[in-house]
């Protein structure tokens, strides 16, 4: 289906990302369990609203939760609004623009003022007011002099007064010197106390980052702007907010350009989900900014398209490690092992994230046999803990139970169910799963991150 509209994220966590919209409805919000497009920026409610995409127009229906919505910078209170190409919507720190798919972007980038740093050419107010030394006027001197009683001193009295003052000063100095040498200095030497060093803003920020154990955050001092610049990666949004609060509490002027690894994983998963590869599991990679992709890959062309999107549409993604072929080989090899032991007809093999699950009605005798087969299989491939078993009844009303009447293998493979309905690859079945693959004696179903292979032999066809 050809995309009709597109979205560009102008500010927020996914700034710079572009999303293509085909005809249909898309939920926007911060709740990863309900929203199709997840934006977890400040000020974005759990359900921001619904984008309704048609060939003719694009409409936005806001959610029930109250929040301030700006359209082209102006407050909008209507529940359902029609959008035009190049229009901008803002909620909290999230700013997005919409346009028709075939139109080039003609955006006027809007500066987001929230948390904007002060530039070097902006004046900074002194925290302590300056003081000037004011000399008293002649009148003040004269008035002060008038208040002092006049006393005549003879030459002799002046001499004794000066001599006594000098003697008193000498005695006092000697006492202080003796006290310092005999008491204060030994204490200072014994205790090893050194004068406290005044830490620079860079050193203070480094202490904060170390205390929060944020190993992938780099701090530099921008002398021209008199501020700290923080770059790199933090594991989640909470860590980023905690770091920001700690720096503000220490009165450290800063600019934060950090990527959130959890957001990178969500962005990658979002792209996979919207391109038919939602069953591939995304986890953190070996280093910051990298992700690991695990699962089954049945469509090389589809992956080539996704690979281009990952390189351009995920800010902060430095690379990815793929583990497709091994999982695919393990599924195929395990299927063969179960088939050789006449167990495949009563069991299902499901890929669940980074492990494989064998499901079915498993009694003690069958469990003992499966454990032996699994142990032998994992020893051969050198990977323990890959396969798990799950005892669950597979009744006729189980969502994975399909009354398949026949399988047709030709230029366009399809299956026929008991109700005589035909389903081709990619179609959504009555049980909610999509038909991922059709072969002579099995079909493969997919539902988000779950892949199920069901063996169907001619003798098992529904009548």
SS (H, E, C) the chain: CCCCEEEEEEECCCCCCEEEECCEEEEEECCCCCCCEECCCCCCCCCCEEEEECCCCEEEEECCCCCCCEECCEECCCCEEEECCCEEEEECCEEEEEEECCCCCCCCCCCCCCCCCCCCCCCCCCCCCCCCCCCCCHHHHHHHHHHCCCCCCCHHHHHHHHHHHHHHHHHHHHHHHHHHHHHHHHHHHHHCCCCCCCCCHHHHHHHHHHHCCCCCEEEEEECCCCEEEEEEEECCHHHHHHHHHHHHHCCCCEEEEEEEHHHHHHHHHHHHHCCCCCCCEEEECCCCCEEEEECCCCCHHHHHHHHHHHHHHCCCCCEEEEECHHHHHHHHHHHHHHHHCCCHHHEEEEEECCEEEEEECCCHHHHHHHHHHHHHHHHHHCCCCCEEEEECCCCCCCCCCCCEEEEECCCCCEEEECCCCEEECCCECCCCCEEEEECCCEEEEEECCEEEEEECCHHHCCC
Computed over every residue of the chain, the mean pLDDT equals 76
**Residue 197 pLDDT:** 65
Residue 38 clears pLDDT 90, i.e. is over it:
no
Categorize the per-residue pLDDT at 445 as very low, low, confident or very high, splitting at 50, 70 and 90.
Answer: confident
**Residue 459 pLDDT:** 56
Where along the chain do the CATH 3.30.1340.30 domains lie? 202-261
Residue 87 clears pLDDT 80, i.e. is over it:
yes
Categorize the per-residue pLDDT at 359 as very low, low, confident or very high, splitting at 50, 70 and 90.
Answer: confident
Q: What is the CATH number of domain 202-261?
A: 3.30.1340.30
Categorize the per-residue pLDDT at 172 as very low, low, confident or very high, splitting at 50, 70 and 90.
Answer: low
**Residue 343 pLDDT:** 81
Give the class (CATH, top level) of 328-394: alpha beta
Categorize the per-residue pLDDT at 159 as very low, low, confident or very high, splitting at 50, 70 and 90.
Answer: very low
CATH of the structural domain 5-100, one choice from 2.60.200.20, 3.90.550.10, 2.30.30.360, 1.10.150.120: 2.60.200.20
> Mean pLDDT over residues 105-133, rounded?
42
**Residue 32 pLDDT:** 79
> Mean pLDDT over residues 428-444, rounded?
80
- Looking at CATH, the fold of the domain delimited by 396-463 is given as SH3 type barrels. (2.30.30)
Residues 70-86 pLDDT 10s? 999 999 988 899 999 99
Where along the chain do the CATH 3.30.70.1770 domains lie? 328-394
Residue 400 clears pLDDT 70, i.e. is over it:
no
Residue 128 clears pLDDT 50, i.e. is over it:
no
Between 57 and 142, the more confident residue is 57
The share of the chain scoring above pLDDT 90, in percent, equals 22
Where along the chain do the CATH 2.60.200.20 domains lie? 5-100
């Amino acid at each position: 289906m050809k995309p009709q509209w597109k979205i560009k994220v102008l500010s927020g966590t996914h700034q710079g990302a572009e999303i293509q919209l085909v005809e249909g409805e898309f939920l926007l919000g911060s709740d990863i369990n309900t929203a199709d497009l997840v934006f977890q920026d400040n000020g974005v409610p759990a359900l921001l609203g619904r984008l309704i995409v048609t060939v003719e127009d694009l409409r936005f229906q806001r959610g029930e939760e109250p929040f301030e919505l700006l359209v082209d910078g102006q407050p909008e209170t209507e529940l359902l609004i029609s959008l035009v190409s190049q229009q901008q919507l803002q909620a909290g720190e999230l700013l997005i623009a919409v346009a028709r798919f075939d139109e080039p972007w003609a955006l006027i980038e809007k500066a987001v003022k929230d948390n904007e740093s002060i530039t070097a050419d902006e004046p900074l107010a002194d925290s302590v007011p300056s003081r000037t030394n004011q000399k008293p006027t002649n009148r003040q001197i004269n008035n002060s002099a008038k208040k002092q009683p006049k006393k005549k001193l003879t030459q002799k009295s002046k001499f004794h007064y000066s001599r006594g003052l000098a003697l008193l000063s000498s005695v006092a100095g000697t006492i202080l010197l003796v006290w310092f040498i005999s008491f204060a200095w030994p204490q200072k030497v014994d205790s090893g106390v050194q004068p406290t060093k005044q830490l620079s803003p860079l050193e203070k920020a480094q202490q904060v980052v170390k205390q929060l154990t944020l190993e992938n955050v780099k701090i530099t001092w921008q002398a021209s702007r008199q501020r700290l610049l923080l770059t790199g990666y933090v594991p989640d949004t909470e860590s980023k907010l905690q770091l920001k609060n700690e720096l503000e509490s220490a009165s450290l002027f800063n600019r934060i350009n950090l990527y959130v690894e959890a957001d990178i994983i969500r962005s990658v998963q979002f792209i996979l989900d919207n391109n038919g590869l939602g069953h591939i599991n995304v986890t953190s990679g070996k280093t910051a900014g990298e992700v690991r992709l695990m699962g089954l890959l049945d469509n090389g062309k589809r992956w080539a398209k996704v690979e281009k999107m990952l390189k351009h549409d995920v800010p902060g993604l430095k690379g990815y490690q793929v583990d497709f072929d091994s999982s695919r080989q393990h599924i195929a090899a395990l299927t063969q092992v179960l088939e050789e032991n006449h167990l495949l007809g009563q069991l299902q093999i499901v890929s669940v994230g980074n492990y494989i699950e064998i499901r079915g009605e498993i009694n003690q005798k069958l469990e003992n046999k499966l454990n032996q087969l699994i142990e032998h299989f994992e020893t051969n491939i050198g990977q323990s803990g890959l396969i798990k078993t799950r005892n669950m009844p597979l009744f006729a009303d189980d969502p994975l139970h399909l009354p398949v009447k026949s399988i047709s293998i030709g230029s366009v493979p399809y299956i026929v169910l008991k109700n005589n309905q035909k389903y081709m690859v990619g179609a959504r079945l009555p049980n909610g799963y999509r038909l991922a693959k059709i072969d002579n004696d099995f079909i493969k179903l997919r539902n988000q991150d779950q892949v199920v292979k069901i063996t169907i032999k001619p003798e098992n066809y529904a009548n």
